[in-house]
A = this chain, B = another copy of it.
Amino acid sequence: MAEKKKDRNLSIDPAALEVLAKTEGGNIETAYQRYLNMQPQCQYGNTGICCTICIQGPCRITKKASKGICGAAPYTIVARNLLRHVLGGTSCHSDHGLHITMVMKEIVDGHGGDYSITDSAKLKRVADRLGIPIEGRTDQEILKDVINLAMEEFSRLDKDKYSVWLEKTVVPERVEKAMDCNIMPNSIHKTVTESMAQTHMGMDADPVNLVFQSLKTALCDYIGMHIATDLSDILFGTPTPVVSEANMGVLGEKTVNIALHGHNPILSEMVVRAAREMQDEAKAAGAEGIKCMGICCTGNEVLMRQGVPVLTNFLSQELAIMTGAVDAMVVDVQCIMPGVQTVAECFHTKIITTIPNVKIPSSYYVDFDETRALEKAREIVSIAIEAFKERDPSKVSIPQVKNKVVAGFSLEALTEVLAAVNPDNPIKVITDAVDSGELAGICLFAGCNNLKVTHDENHTVIARELAKNNVLLVATGCAAGSFAKLGLLNSDAVEKYAGEGLKAFLNRLNEANKDKLQEKMPLIFHMGSCVDNTRAYDLVTALAKQWQMDTPKVPFAASAPEAMSEKAISIGSWVVTLGMPVHVGVIPPIPGSALIDGIALQIAQDVYGGYFMWEEDPMEASKKLLAALQERVWKLKVHRMAKERYETEAISKTW
């Protein structure tokens, strides 16, 4: 198996392959080599049947040892491990959301420093949806209520009060479902702690109970993410369509190149601002200027709002440094490989960590103090300028690969594009296209990269297959990063890959928007960073409302073709809970229990309407996603025909 994996391509990204070729036989170790060194991987851990929760263990399920020492069955072990994974993801998004909330609490208290409300209209939309009065009130008054409610979403202890953010952003049927299943969270922090306790030795042994708690925790992930996105928009502006470019060719030969990596816009927005102000300092250091560029979701955040180009996505983060042209890699939170520091030490690149609980030994640490945000951002840019002076031209080798990117499709931006076709009811442009058969449904691409499959391949193969079959595509996170790098986020890709229906649909949007937008529609609509998956789910909610039905009937699917992180597991879990089929292109550590596997793949559908599909082969995955969408489209059609017949023929209501 290891041999087979050694033979296969490591990436389909030409820039990544070019950099990797440089190190063939060389001595710079990257994740691609470490993955091969790690083969064969432990099959107990891989399938979820290794338990290290108490120190009588580790317990691994074998024929001889069919239960853990405490008597835990495989289903208990798998379910506990699953819940801990969901907890990891949920906690990250919670911390991200809380970080932004507390920065905005400073604005409320009059100490916002360099931060202020950028998008007053979004503030009002968010407040209004949450049931907070907006008429005749100042932004500051409204923000105070929004932030107080956000803080409650994290800290509420009462067992009879439930998350308002969840209740107010999904269709009522989903809230009822969550209440019926006893998985409606009171608050994020309480649920996280209760879930962690539930997985302790000698706590819950009931796999179904543990799975329900995983879903409750995953709903907290949704809440934390939604808060993060809503508040980021208020703080930095709701994204609107923007043109940029992507892949390592964006590196400037003669510019100070700053890679922004991580997930949180709180820091990166300030660095982008500081970099724009400090072009002269860079010129004084012999550079032609300063260029910021993004990696992972910090990259998506600044692409969406500032048009900052995409340098690369998760898996190739080390490779970017190996171009020799990155002067500083500024990181905040999540998905930062510790390996970047080791690679950086072979070059002049400075790795700058910025968050107290995310450090890397030997990296340069700038304590990013939000009360002095711009000052700190300038300090970071200065380090990059200094590093530029140390750049060794003989080590610079920039792959000349880049693609045009049209991004910035927040739901609001997408709605405005649709409104050019139907101003009274923009979302109906999509539902009509599905009802007429022009579109075969909608699919969200999300998630990471994972070396268990070829870098970027699953993303692109599945997306192209679905486009060919007239599925409307939206994307976030490193999936969007993959599409950006490989040229799928522009209108050329529409010509190359879209089926006739999708092409007609996009052309209708182009036609209606031709006076407003400089660029034609891309093949895939980039909705933001992975924390912005709630934007995509808000689209589901809007579609469900338009069709006047619960979300499990909406012909929408999600795919995480190269899922890697616990966040992907938590996001996938709430997407399923909220009614969607979810394809995962890497098998998570679940099949060690046939019961838990069956719940994920099948039983979940009976309860929530959503379900998982594990499929590593991209062509098979495409078929499964299309089948899932076809089933829903077909049911929609039957439902519509029945309704029409009922209305025209006046059949008894009990029919």
* A566 touching B76, Cβ below 8 Å: no
Q: How far in angstroms is the closest Cβ of chain B from A430?
A: 33
* A564 touching B55, Cβ below 8 Å: yes
A selection of 25 A-B contacts at a CB cut-off of 8 Å is: A31-B71, A34-B67, A34-B70, A35-B56, A38-B60, A41-B58, A54-B564, A56-B451, A67-B338, A71-B318, A84-B84, A88-B196, A91-B193, A102-B159, A189-B189, A194-B357, A198-B357, A200-B565, A201-B564, A201-B566, A202-B337, A204-B357, A205-B358, A205-B361, A207-B361
Cα separation A34 to B360 with both chains bound (whole Å): 41
- The verdict on A499 contacting chain B, using a C-beta distance below 8 Å, is no
Q: Given the known inter-chain contacts A54-B565, A188-B193, A197-B95, please indicate yes or no for A338 contacting B45, CB distance below 8 A.
A: no
Q: Given the known inter-chain contacts A102-B159, A189-B155, A209-B359, please indicate yes or no for A567 contacting B200, CB distance below 8 A.
A: yes
A586 proximity list for chain B (CB < 8 A): 55
Cα separation A414 to B453 with both chains bound (whole Å): 63
A335 proximity list for chain B (CB < 8 A): 201-202
Cα separation A357 to B46 with both chains bound (whole Å): 26
Cα separation A69 to B42 with both chains bound (whole Å): 14
Cα separation A60 to B450 with both chains bound (whole Å): 17
Interface string of A171-207 (1 = CB under 8 A from B): 0000000000010000011101111111111111111
Q: How far in angstroms is the closest Cβ of chain B from A210?
A: 9
Interface string of A322-362 (1 = CB under 8 A from B): 00000000000111111111100000000000001111110
A50 proximity list for chain B (CB < 8 A): 42, 45, 50, 52, 58
* B204 touching A193, Cβ below 8 Å: no
Interface string of A563-588 (1 = CB under 8 A from B): 11111110000000000000000101
Cα separation A44 to B76 with both chains bound (whole Å): 22
Cα separation A157 to B87 with both chains bound (whole Å): 19
A89 proximity list for chain B (CB < 8 A): 200
* A91 touching B340, Cβ below 8 Å: no
* A334 touching B200, Cβ below 8 Å: yes
Q: Given the known inter-chain contacts A98-B157, A589-B52, please indicate yes or no for A209 contacting B357, CB distance below 8 A.
A: yes
Q: Which of A52, A65, A589 has the most CB of B within 10 A?
A: A52
The 9 closest A-B pairs by CB, nearest first: A71-B339, A45-B58, A189-B189, A91-B196, A206-B359, A202-B335, A205-B338, A155-B155, A95-B197
- The verdict on A536 contacting chain B, using a C-beta distance below 8 Å, is no
Query: Is the interface on chain A under 10, 10 to 19, 20 to 34, or 35 or more residues?
Result: 35 or more
* A68 touching B196, Cβ below 8 Å: no
A53 proximity list for chain B (CB < 8 A): 88, 566
- The verdict on A213 contacting chain B, using a C-beta distance below 8 Å, is yes
Q: Given the known inter-chain contacts A52-B50, A56-B451, A358-B204, please indicate yes or no for A68 contacting B37, CB distance below 8 A.
A: no
* A197 touching B56, Cβ below 8 Å: no
* B198 touching A452, Cβ below 8 Å: no
- The verdict on A423 contacting chain B, using a C-beta distance below 8 Å, is no
Cα separation A70 to B45 with both chains bound (whole Å): 17
- The verdict on A557 contacting chain B, using a C-beta distance below 8 Å, is no
A60 proximity list for chain B (CB < 8 A): 38, 42
Cα separation A289 to B154 with both chains bound (whole Å): 49
- The verdict on A94 contacting chain B, using a C-beta distance below 8 Å, is yes
- The verdict on A57 contacting chain B, using a C-beta distance below 8 Å, is yes
Interface string of A103-122 (1 = CB under 8 A from B): 00000000000000000000
Interface string of A63-77 (1 = CB under 8 A from B): 011011111110010
Cα separation A209 to B360 with both chains bound (whole Å): 9
Q: How far in angstroms is the closest Cβ of chain B from A38?
A: 5
A87 proximity list for chain B (CB < 8 A): 196
Pick the contact of A206 from B65, B81, B361, B567 — CB < 8 Å? B361
- The verdict on A542 contacting chain B, using a C-beta distance below 8 Å, is no
Q: Which B residue's beta carbon lies closest to that of A196?
A: B91
A564 proximity list for chain B (CB < 8 A): 54-56, 201
- The verdict on A92 contacting chain B, using a C-beta distance below 8 Å, is yes
Q: Given the known inter-chain contacts A42-B60, A91-B193, A193-B94, please indicate yes or no for A71 contacting B34, CB distance below 8 A.
A: yes
Pick the contact of A189 from B46, B190, B202 — CB < 8 Å? B190
Cα separation A70 to B565 with both chains bound (whole Å): 11
* B339 touching A92, Cβ below 8 Å: no
Q: How far in angstroms is the closest Cβ of chain B from A617?
A: 17
Q: How far in angstroms is the closest Cβ of chain B from A11?
A: 14
Q: Which B residue's beta carbon lies closest to that of A190?
A: B189
Interface string of A348-382 (1 = CB under 8 A from B): 00000000111111000000000000000000000
Pick the contact of A76 from B207, B338, B356 — CB < 8 Å? B338
* A55 touching B333, Cβ below 8 Å: no
Cα separation A197 to B44 with both chains bound (whole Å): 25
A64 proximity list for chain B (CB < 8 A): 37
A207 proximity list for chain B (CB < 8 A): 361
Cα separation A193 to B190 with both chains bound (whole Å): 9
A156 proximity list for chain B (CB < 8 A): 155
A38 proximity list for chain B (CB < 8 A): 57, 59-60, 65, 68-69
Q: Which B residue's beta carbon lies closest to that of A205?
A: B338
Cα separation A2 to B159 with both chains bound (whole Å): 48
Pick the contact of A58 from B31, B42, B195, B204 — CB < 8 Å? B42
Q: Which B residue's beta carbon lies closest to that of A95?
A: B197
* A360 touching B206, Cβ below 8 Å: yes
